[in-house]
Chains A and B, each alone.
Chain A
Amino acid sequence: MSSRIQTPDTSFALLHDAPELETRRSFLGKSGLVLSGAAIALLAGRDALAKGKKTAGSDVNVLNSALGAELEAIAAYQVGAESGLLQKPVLDLAVTFQGHHKAHADLLAQTVAKLGGKPVSAKEKYDFPVDTLKTQADVLRFAAMLEKGAVSAYLGAVPILDNRDLAKAAASILGDEAMHWAILRNALGEAPVPVAFMS
């Protein structure tokens, strides 16, 4: 039995637990992921759960639906990048943002698996409204809509995640999606940050 005191913050102790952290680092290293603060929080969260905290059933569902949305975003950016509609600086943005979504998805999938769930996989086919995507601006607007939706989705995930480390990680991803949204709006010539609060 672990002698660590069982508080919701137990997992933070892991941040200073070199051997365990090293294991994670090399594990993540193999999958080509850069270990971010969110990654540590997610993986640490699983340890807190493994120590007999609340069942993670609903947390798994929350993370899995976020994963589903991330996988779709990856596919959407792929469609955008291959559309031939995006010109150079914007194309680079799309590729960079797609990379972030891949990192989110990898981490969410690993976490769902660690929590004992079955990570959803990407659909074979996504029904994107390609017939309405005719110009670079159309693609940007579509991407902005997805990114804003992602902010709202994570905002809707944070308060219902039982595990506070997972909530923190979701908030960390939320911040990233919000930056994407602002930059896409800026690229469209719209006010990049039109509101003081997101909903």
Chain B
Amino acid sequence: MGEPAENAVVDPGLDEQIKKLTSEKIEGVITKVLTEETAARLDVYMRTCVHCGLCAEACHYCLSHDKDPRFSPVGKVKQTLWEILRRKGKVEPEFIRECARIAFTECNVCRRCSMYCPFGIDIAYLLLVVRRICSLLGVVPQYLQDTVNSHAVTSNQMWVKQDEWIDTLQWQEEDTQDEIKDARIPLDKEGAEIMYSVIGPEPKFLAQLLGNIAFIMNVAGIDWTMPSFDGWDNSNMAMYSGDCESRARIERTHDEAAFKLKVKKIVMGECGHAFRGAVYDGPKGLGWKEPPVPLIHAIQFYYELIRDGKVKIVKKFEGPVTVQDPCNVVRGRGLGKMLRYIMRAVCEDFRDVSPRFEHNYCCGAGGGVINCGPSWKSARVKGNSVKAEQLKATGAKVIITPCHNCHSGIEDIINYYKLGMHVKFFSEILVNAMEIPEELKV
């Protein structure tokens, strides 16, 4: 249970939806998930956990709430799955609401606790099973469900229509041409080396980031393309809502766009959850170990550009800068070293964080929690005071977050804890630091 104030959060996705539940329905769904959809992992994890509480040390919610046991990883499993298993699915609608609150808004499925539990129990997986049960019962925070609905209808997260998408790209192409001669955002170029994909919010709110990548691609002389059709959005909110069917469909659409364009690989923008969806958790859900089309994150792409001299740094970013290791790309795929390489290459005064790399604290956003919407924001930010302390200790004025969710999550933290810092994507400092060759200057 959260603080009294958090209990009172109004969310029609939970409050209204539980009114439609009956005990038979709940029991049926739980039985289905426990017998048909889960197997050895759930069973062994539940039987192996010795209730030692050592995982509490891992969780930013628990650390930020003065080690309140309700926020410890095992404490969250106790409040949800233990009860569900003990009562063999015979639980009330009100209990399902509790489960939804805990699994969707009090665990960001960041997997830090798997590195602190001596058995390596995957608590995030257990809470994703709870989300799955809630999703099948239709009890999902309204904002999160809306993004999933958008995925289902439009194949992107933000209800962006195809003409809006193309318009935005053209607009950004024109803007880039103000700086780079004949800059292009090539659409649907078959056989290009690279397909670049982004998350839905980029065309919707952050079109400048599309301009940035156009700038970088044109200067570096990359053979690239973007799809004008469905599959351009690499995000996957269904992965977090527990809608496994949509999750699989979204990943397929993204992969198929790359197949249609016959590209050699996909490069994706600075987003962590999208990377998780496209590179490991999405394919995992489809029963694949690796994605069918090679796929790299922007961090690795920038790293290769800088390392190979395709992009030259001429004017390093001034002032103290620190960085966020997004769980989904650093704990999730080990890109922490490359991230530091590019940070040092582009910043004069890089201040590292502690803890860092896979031990970094989660932003509290990119596991679906931020997508639960504004009504849960206060709980999310209060549940991450350790992040504020960690960032403050660096003395930096700017923090680079190579992930959209970290970006928004940390911005909220900075505002709430009055840290006086600014959040930026890496591309924002890269475009100002890199050289524009004479022949490309306008």
Query: Are A and B subunits of one complex?
Result: no
The interface of chain B, by Cβ under 8 A from chain A, is: none
The interface of chain A, by Cβ under 8 A from chain B, is: none
